Each structure stands twice: as structure tokens, then as C-alpha cells.
Amino acid sequence: MRCPAPFTVLIDRRLPRAVLVALACAALLLPGFSLTAAHGAQGRPHRAKMSRELDEALSGTGSASWVRDVGGVRHVQALLVTDGADPQMTDLRRAVHSLGGSVHAVHAAAHSMTVQIKASLLDTLAQRADVLNVVPNRPTHRTFSTMESITGAGTPNVRTGDAKTQYAGLGGTGIGVAVLDSGVMKAHLAFLNGSGANRVLRNVSMINTSAANWTAGGAPNVTTLQPGSAQQLAYESLVANDSAANQDGYGHGTHVASVLAGRAKFYTYANDTSGVAPNANIVDVKVLNDAGMGTLSDAVEGMEWILYHAKEYNIRVINISLATDSSDSWELDPLCIAARSATAAGITVVAAAGNFGKNLSGKEVYGAIGAPGNDPSVITVGAANFKGTATRSDDSVDFFSSRGPTRGTRVMPDGSQRIDNLLKPDLVAPGNKIVAAGAATGTGTSLTWNLLGALFKSQLVTPVGITQSVGQSQMMLSGTSIAAPAVSGAVALMLEANPGLTPPLVKAILQYTAQPLAGQNLLQQGTGLLNVSGAVALARALRTDVSTGVVSGLLVAGSPMLVQVLPQAASVINGDVVNWSRLAFVGGNQIVSGPALFAQYQPIWDPRLTWADGTVHKRSPIYWPGTANIQNFSDVMLVNQPLLANGVLKLTALAGTSSLAGKTGAFLPTTTLSSWAISGSGQLLTQGLVLSEGLVLSEGLVLSEGLVLSEGLVLSEGLVLSEGLVLSEGLVMSEGVVAGEP
């Protein structure tokens, strides 16, 4: 069948899914037939600024946590992403109040603010020129030693001995890691150092602020938290959670913090459950309540607090083992913007990829990466199954671990939609049946478990096989939530070894030294399995003034980076030789290799630069005058910006066109591409690189090759919308139960 002539059909994205699929089939099978998404029910351009879910709310058909009838009138809670011209958004706040709405919070670092307003008036705000995107205040969800051994943290070049008794070497000493989660039980003995001092420096809770409380209307808020002001001091008092009787009623955050930086010194049983960086400091930022739920607004607010206090607590790493089901492009998602702000401030952001690698039918799902893991500046971590052994040769990617690419969409000025399609995850780490600290209250062996431990005691607590007592309680969890803190701990060790590393340099080192797992492609495992030993070895070979050299402008493309000879591109872990991948993702969907990446300075090691989708942005922190406290950020698009220096190998073209059936492009086995990199194949850059496009996932793969592709994490009807709860490799609790691997 052929269409009689080329024509375009304008579609409404709120049509039933079956209709959308039928139209997509026609677009693929009929030459000349194409689809264009309508801006909204009446084709108004400003509706294109809104996330898809908001269309339903405006039409009166939506049902979500961010929609509610107040006084018989439908209201919505949303985050307005602005152009950043007015950091305090004074005019926009005034406009919200003039419409009878409430401003719950201003997020200067994310150029956004949380508002509540009548649903019928949201269009009015979207029409404003200073509003770039309107996002619902989506819920956030948790994503779900042995660690020392299987990650390589216990190798001689990292540390000797073990953290349960005593060790010599790297433990993350002096490095602050912020844990954005459900809270951290400060009283747990896992968080003491060798001298008995507590390493949890602060406990704060964004749940305490009572923002987004569905109060209609409201007086204008005073949101300028100038250091030392009465407003700022009152705010700090409000969020303080240091003395709370139960700091982690859910149990997720304590376990995550323990995998990252726990120390098992005080346990009386044989197994060592120490974390990867057992002497790092923890800053607990609670953004999930005691049921493991939160809001996008709370998460962004938590990021703001971290940025404000980063210098005070030497916060160099942020672990985010949670996600939102964002359908928005990384460019306009508020949590992604906050993550990029942290990166620009020199803080490495590590995020869980998510737990939706397969759907309830058992089919593998691609494109299920949530926010902020879909941001190019973030280190996005999938989960690996270590099969209960210290050897790495039998490890595989967990069936539940979310696959890439990213699927956020952005409506372009001409009305067309652009799908991000960035390569993710960046790497994988152990995330299956990991034993670590379990939060509990009580005295001695008479303890009250956190919600997870209480609800799933037979799956999470009983298998640990110890006499449980308060302060030494342990539980077992699985998920990318647990894989992410293993990487965050590795980052803390790298920064102790070389404090001058920048976030993008940290990410490249982790990817370059990762071990490719056999039979897994780039969208399943990124560049491979975390190799702490290799990452530390490569970090030590580099100069320690990179971060200061970037800011001062002393480092330019091609400047020497080495203080010692680059180490051999292989590590020995538990007697096994682990070959490095020698791969790194840059530019969102480019793949590069070669020793020149680290022997010479690459402009992309500047943490203020974000390169993806053919654009380069420079985001720079702005501090309150005379202080080390960040107030907001500037953001400019750069042209003719050097990105890579001569001598780097570009492997993107070698990967070929993406085909699931052909195992090429984004579906190429990582081991194959790694072998090509080791052989020196690829395009040798002789004139550097400014901008070019990388791998693009063909949309035709959805129908022509049987690929299950998540459409912006919305059309999967909730399955890929949250992190679910992974109890073990064989049991995933979400909207049903998935039986999996042993």
C-alpha cells in the first residue's frame, strides 16, 4: 500500500495508546506518511512547554499525586523551569500570587520553583517568556565486606587489612558524601571511625519543611536565604534532623550509606560487611519519608541545601539512589538541572539507573532510565549480580537493572519532538543481595525494624543469619540503589588519592578502568563492571591540580596531565586479571578511547561544561558575596568550544548503526568495542574535536526488531515509572511480582 501523496498527520499525544501505536505503524510502513505531535488540545504553542502528564490534568482526566481538588477546584503542583535571567524569580513569583497561587519553594540552583495553582491557570504561566518548562511535582522513589573484595577496594594498591579490624591505605578519609535518600541512622555503629567518632556530620530533612502542602493561595514567600539572615537561620532550624528519634523509618538510606561508607568493626560475626569507603564522612539529606516516597520538589530542595553547604562539609560526592519518572529532556528536567549545578560546582553526582530492565511479562525493556540518571553529567549506575562469589568471571548484569538509552523528549521551536537518546548506564556495580546496616530503634536485641525490614523480614533480615541488636543490625537489599553507593564509595577513594580530580574526569576514569562483562551490550552495562583498584591506580597517575587549573585557566587542550607513567590497563582482583574497557562515553552518545585521554588535558574535564545533543553549555556557580555559599548559577551556550585534544581515538563510527538484531551501534557488546579499542582501532583525532553527532537509536527498532522501548517512561502504564522494590535478584516488588534469576 502506498499513500497517494506525501502528507502529515497532526496527532494529539493524549490519544489512547493503541491509536498512537497504529499511527506509528502507518508512519513506518507507508512512504510519505509522517506524524507531528500537536502542542495541545487547541494547538497553542505554549502547551509545548508542558510535560505530557500535565495535559491530562488540564483536560480534567488526569489522576496523580500532584493533582488535587482544593475547595472544589482542581489544583496542580508543578515546578516552573525558568530562563535563569532572574535568579530569585521575583516577577514570576509575583505573577503566581496575582493568580491566587502559592509559591512553595524557590530553587535558585535549578532555575526553577515549586508552585501550586488552579489547573485552569497553568496555561497562563506557561505563556510567559521567562518560563521554559512546566513539570509536575512528580513523586520520587527509592531505587534499590563482600563489597571490598568484589569491587577491588581490598587490593594492595587501595588498602591492606580490612575495615572490620584495621586497615592501611585509602578509606575516603576527609571526603564528604551527601546521601539524598530516606535518612541515615546516625546511631548505627557502622558510621563510627576507628577512634569511635561519628562520621555522620549532619542529618537534615526536607520532609520537615511542609512545602507543597496543598494550601490554596498564600502570601508571597520570603525565599532569599542570605547567609546569616534570620530567614536562613530559621530555615536551618526547620530542616535540622540531627536529634530525631527515628532518622530513617524506611531503612533504605541507612543501607545505602553503609554500602558506601559503613564500617563493620563492631560486629561479632564472621562476615565483614564494610562499605567501599569506610572512613568517608556522611551528610544525610532526607528527601523520602518513612514509606520511601517523596516529591520532585523535596529532592531539588535537598540538592539546594547540599550546594549551599558543600564547602562547609567538604561534600565532594552526592549519591542519589532514587529517581523520578521524568518524560522531560535532561535539558529541562529540574532534578537534572540541579545535578548539573552540583557537577559545575565540582561535586561528582552518582545516580541509580533504575530497576526496570524487564517488564512484568519478562521482556527486556530498553529506555527505562529515570531522572537524574538521564543527565549526561551524572554517573549513572546499573546493577550486576556477583553470583555470591568473589570471582568476577561469572558476573552478569542483573535482569532488573534499567537499560538505556535515555528517552526524555523536548518540543523544539518548530513543534517537532526531539528524543534525547543518550548512552546510559555509564557502568555497573554489585547490586544483588548485598548485606549492610539496617536501621532500627529500641535497646539491645529488643529492636523495632524499619519499614522494609518489618514488612519483608523473611526475605531481607532472616537470611543474614545473625543475632540482631540495635546499632549492629543488618539487612539485605538488591537494586541499582545499592550499586550506586558502591560507585560513590569508589569516588571517595579516588578523591582521597587525588583531590584534584574533576567530576567528568572521575567519570571517565571509572568507565575506562571498568571490566566489560561478556554478552552484555553498551545499553545494558555501559563500559562494564566497577574496578576500584584500576580507578585508584589511574587517578594516582594524574596531576593533583586539575580542578584548580581549570578554574584558573592554566590548563588548555593538550596540557600534560601525568605525574607518573600510566599504569598497565589491567588489574589483578582476587587472583583474576581484569582487563580495562579503555572506553569512555562523552558528548552524550560519543565513545572515545586511548591513553591521550589522560596523558593530555581534555577541555571536557572542565566540570562547568555539558556537552550533549550537539550543544555545549557552560554552567558556573555564583556565590553569596564574601562567602563560600552558592547562591545560584549562570548558564550560557558556547560556540566553537574545543572539546577533545589531538591523539584521542574516536570509536563511535566503528560501532555502526544501532540494530538490536545485528548487535551493532548502541547494542554492540561492550567486549567487542573494547577489543577494538585495545587494538588501537578508531578515528585518531589530529585536529581535536569541536562538535559532532554520535550514536542515534533508530526509532524503527520499536516495531521492526521487536524491541520493547519505553516511550519517555510514560506509556508503560506505571511499570517503568518508579524504582520498585528489589528484594533479591529473584523477586522484584512493584505492581506485581517478577520471578528472575537465582
Cell of 27: 508512519
b/e string for 213-243 if b means 16 or more Cβ within 10 A? eeeeeeeebebebeeeeeebeebeeebebee
- Segment 671-681, tens digit of pLDDT: 999 999 999 98
Is the model's pLDDT at 472 over the cut of 80? yes
Rounded to whole angstroms, the Cα distance separating 437 from 256 reads 8
What number is the average pLDDT over the span 542-546?
Answer: 97
Clarify whether residues 124 and 20 are in a common domain: no
Does residue 673 share a domain with residue 568?
Answer: yes
**Domain final residue, candidates 85, 111, 137:** 137
The pLDDT value recorded for residue 700 is: 40
Residue count of the chain: 742
Residues 260, 178, single domain; the answer is yes
- The pLDDT tens digits for 98-148 are 998 988 888 888 888 899 989 889 889 988 999 999 988 887 755 434 666
| Predicted pLDDT of residue 692 | 59
pLDDT at residue number 153: 82
> Which amino acid makes up residue 679?
S
Do residue 146 and residue 8 come from a single domain? no
Q: Is residue 62 domain-resident?
A: yes
CATH at residue 471: 3.40.50.200
Q: Domain check: are 452 and 382 in the same one?
A: yes
Cis bond before residue 425 (omega within 30° of 0): yes
C-alpha cell at 728: 533479591
Region 313-330 average pLDDT: 90
Rounded to whole angstroms, how far apart are CA atoms 4 and 561?
A: 62
Inside any domain, residue 627? yes
277 and 371 housed in the same domain? yes
Same domain, 396 and 450: yes
Q: pLDDT by residue (tens digit) across 23-58? A: 444 333 333 333 444 333 333 345 678 877 776 666
Q: Is the pLDDT of residue 704 over 90?
A: no
| pLDDT 10s digits, 181-200 | 999 999 999 999 988 899 99
pLDDT at 563: 96
Domain boundary among the residues 684, 707, 729 is at: 684
- Owner of C-alpha cell 532488573: 400
Q: Judge if 34 and 133 occupy the same domain.
A: no
How many whole angstroms separate alpha carbon 66 and alpha carbon 86? 26
Average pLDDT over the chain, rounded to an integer: 82
Per-residue model confidence as pLDDT tens digits over 198-230: 999 999 999 867 555 666 554 445 456 789 998
In a domain, 705, yes or no: no
Same structural domain, 125 and 11: no
Q: Are residues 66 and 171 in the same domain?
A: no
**58-110: pLDDT as tens digits:** 666 556 778 888 888 888 898 999 988 888 899 999 999 999 898 888 888 88
**Domain-embedded: residue 569:** yes
CA gap 268, 302 in Å, rounded: 36
Q: In this model, does residue 402 exceed pLDDT 90?
A: yes
CB 248 within 8 A of CB 450: yes
**pLDDT value of position 215:** 61
For residue 405, say if its preceding peptide bond is cis, omega within 30 degrees of 0. Answer: yes
Among residues 380, 545, 401, the alpha carbon closest in space to that of 478 is found at 401
Range of the domain at 644: 140-211+237-528+551-684
349: in domain: yes
* Residue 669 preceded by cis peptide, ω within 30: no
Last residue of one domain, picked from the residues 669, 684, 699:
684
- The answer as to whether 726 is a domain residue is no
Check whether residue 114 and residue 157 sit in a common domain: no
Alpha-carbon dihedral angle through residues 13, 14, 16, 18, given to the nearest 10 degrees: 10
What is the model's pLDDT at position 216? Answer: 54
Which amino acid is located at 58 in the chain? L
Percent of the chain with pLDDT over 70: 80
**Number of structural domains in the chain:** 3
649 near 594, Cβ under 8 Å? yes
Q: Model confidence at 360, in pLDDT bands (50, 70, 90)?
A: confident
Q: Which residues contact 197 (CB under 8 A, 6 or more apart)?
A: none
Both 335 and 394 in one domain: the answer is yes
Whole-number pLDDT of residue 211:
56
Q: Is residue 714 assigned to a domain?
A: no
Instruction: Let me know if residue 221 belongs to a domain.
Output: no
Contact between 131 and 49 (Cβ < 8 Å): yes
Mean pLDDT on 534-548: 97
What is the domain-level CATH number for residue 130? Answer: 3.30.70.80
Please give the C-alpha separations between residue 710 and each of 191, 364, 416, 713, 715, in angstroms, as whole numbers: 39, 10, 19, 5, 7
What pLDDT is recorded for position 47? 62
| 3-state secondary structure (DSSP) of residue 124 | helix
Report the distance separating Cα 120 and Cα 431, nearest Å. Answer: 45
Q: Is the Cβ–Cβ distance between 151 and 142 less than 8 Å?
A: no
Cβ burial of 165 (10 Å; 0-12, 13-18, 19+) is: exposed
- Render 432-444 in DSSP notation, one character per residue: SSEEEE--EEEET
**Cell output for 482:** 545499592
Report the distance separating Cα 36 and Cα 20, nearest Å: 12
